[in-house]
Amino acid sequence: MGMCKTSGGIFDIYGPYRSNIKETWKKEPNVRVNYYDEKTGELLQQRWYGPDGFAI
């Protein structure tokens, strides 16, 4: 199984520790979104978006 190419780019967002990337967040095709804790800068979650722009 191959990885999704990030031809659309990588987006970094910051927010509170106990939150996550909203499922309704629709991005360009083939992008990755990194969610970081706004206080510590720790990576909390990564989400990949496929060719249709929806989370995979």
Predicted local confidence at residue 14, as pLDDT: 80
Which residues have a Cβ under 8 Å from the Cβ of 54 and sit 6 or more positions away? 26
What residues does each domain of the chain span? 11-19+27-56
- In the chain, the amino acid numbered 52 is D
**Confidence class of residue 40 from pLDDT cuts 50, 70 and 90?**
very high
Please state the pTM of the whole predicted model: 0.65
Residue 52 has pLDDT above 80, yes or no: yes
pLDDT in tens, 5-26: 445 688 887 887 777 666 555 6
Residue 29 has pLDDT above 60, yes or no: yes
